[in-house]
Structure 1
Amino acid sequence: MAIVGEEYCSAEERVLTVRKTSHFSPGDGFAAYDHRTGGLAFRADTYGRGHGGGAAYAGELALLGPAGEALITVRRRRPSLHQRWEGYLGARADGQKPLFSARRSSILGGAAAGAVVELLAPLPASFSSTHAAAAELLRVDGSFPRRCCRVVAPKAESGGEAAVVAEIRRKVDEGARVVMGRDVFVLRVGAGFDAAFAMAIVLVLDQIAGDEADGNAGEETNRAMIW
């Protein structure tokens, strides 16, 4: 299911370790490393500070490849009661139509209420009509602030079951037998699903969560021992 590009779709499940690199504002710094190779797969920066992608629109977020190329740009749509965000392929240009939009599932419940991600027309040419029917609307179940949620594609019109295409979980250091803090977590991308698009969803979820990701500090900000 290529959305950004076929090169980001793997025949096998892909596991990324995601590290939040900045706390000045939600989402303005992320680095994602491939579990298999250990190499940098994606990073994220805020536009308007002279960082990657060659754009200078304040408040926009850029998902970049390892070489600094802009893959997706996300920005908040205003006004929006549901915290609606829009994503654009590459470095967004004036007049460009969004590739997808994302919003809270409900005004009530905050980020813990989940989110809805909608792919907007025209869909990429890589989609078949069968894939498009199943992928036009994705939902995020669970709590991103607690780093425990999954991205689910609904049933296709032809039948079948809903499929989990990506999942976010807390990072576990098996050697030290501890659960890492929320600044480091795991993104599992299902076989055939676009890892760059999955990472763009992470950026949006972090923006939707906002300060909720820093609330309930307690055990959430510390490492928990596994016995």
Structure 2
Amino acid sequence: MRRLSIHRWTMGAHTLLTPVVSKIFCSSLQAALLVRRRPPAVTGGGFVVTDREQRVVFSVDGCGIIGAAGQLVVRDADGTAILFIHKKGGVVQALSVHNRWRGYLMDYGEPSKPVFSLQDPKPVLSCAAGDVRVTVEPKAGRKRHWDYEVTGSFAHRACAVKSRGGHVVAQIGVKGMMAGRDFYHVVVQPGYDQAFVIGVIAILDNMNGESTRC
């Protein structure tokens, strides 16, 4: 297999996108996921992600569980921490027109190498095109400054994660009688890293003052 500059692996007649977190979270089929928010007063907040068979595939812990504002942990189906996400601080951050977040792989329970960074405007009014952008790390040697963007409104559950080329990576929406702020659907297109998508959604949740935020 040969790694291409457009972040893809090519194998025979099939093209697989390079994962951000891990290839084990990529599927050749479209993934239809359901996000269910956890009550802060009972379980500390955050949310749980299930598949079509109602099996838990991811969960996200926020301030209510971790006990620290601006920090998030994404766990896999076994409850193992796979991503640590934090909002950057400091004087430079305070003076910036954007909030900046960074996601790290977890290694033996500790954050290791960074795998993506996200920036959003201050204050958050919407997720309009170009407002929220994500960069895959490391970015050394690449001229472009971002790889993905969020379009639409997460607050209204009408949102999409798109690649720089305009391809839809994942769509966030509501449908059915139970749908709403506490239950919503995420459809991840084939080949894309589902753990990465959930990590982005976790940040959007926190940005909008929802279940992961104290």
- The structure 2 residue matched to 1:68, chosen from 79, 84, 95, is 79
Correspondence for 1:210:
209
The code of the aligned residue for 2:32 comes to V
- Residues 1:28 and 1:137: Cα distance change in structure 2 (over 3 Å): farther
Matched, 1:6 2:23: yes
Matched, 1:34 2:51: yes
Correspondence for 1:194:
193
SS at 1:110's partner residue?
coil
- Identify unmatched segments of 5+ residues in structure 2: 1-16
Judge conservation of contact 2:149–2:162 (CA < 8 Å) in 1.
yes
- The structure 1 residue matched to 2:100, chosen from 81, 84, 91, is 84
The code of the aligned residue for 1:118 comes to T
The code of the aligned residue for 2:151 comes to D
Correspondence for 1:181:
180
- Residues 1:23 and 1:137: Cα distance change in structure 2 (over 3 Å): same
Correspondence for 1:118:
135
- What root-mean-square deviation, in Å, do the aligned CA atoms of Structure 1 and Structure 2 show? 3.2
SS at 2:114's partner residue?
coil
The code of the aligned residue for 2:135 comes to E
Matched, 1:145 2:143: no
Correspondence for 2:33:
16
Matched, 1:163 2:160: no
Between 182-191 and 40-49, report the one with greater CA deviation.
Answer: 40-49
The code of the aligned residue for 1:22 comes to P
SS at 2:155's partner residue?
coil
Per-residue deviation, 1:194? 0.4
Per-residue deviation, 1:210? 1.7
- Residues 1:84 and 1:22: Cα distance change in structure 2 (over 3 Å): farther
Per-residue deviation, 1:179? 6.0
Judge conservation of contact 2:20–2:136 (CA < 8 Å) in 1.
no
Q: TM-score, normalised by structure 1?
A: 0.70
Judge conservation of contact 1:89–1:99 (CA < 8 Å) in 2.
yes
d(CA) in 2 for partners of 1:133, 1:189: 27
- Identify unmatched segments of 5+ residues in structure 1: 50-55, 124-128, 156-161, 212-227
Per-residue deviation, 1:109? 5.4
Judge conservation of contact 1:103–1:117 (CA < 8 Å) in 2.
yes
Percentage of matched positions with identical amino acids = 28
Q: Deviations over 1:101-123 (max 9, x none)?
A: 1121x335523444111112169
Q: Deviations over 1:55-93 (max 9, x none)?
A: x78332110012111111111111434221111011574
How many residue pairs get matched?
Answer: 185
d(CA) in 2 for partners of 1:47, 1:70: 15
d(CA) in 2 for partners of 1:121, 1:12: 27
d(CA) in 1 for partners of 2:145, 2:192: 10
Q: Deviations over 1:179-203 (max 9, x none)?
A: 6221110011010000011000000
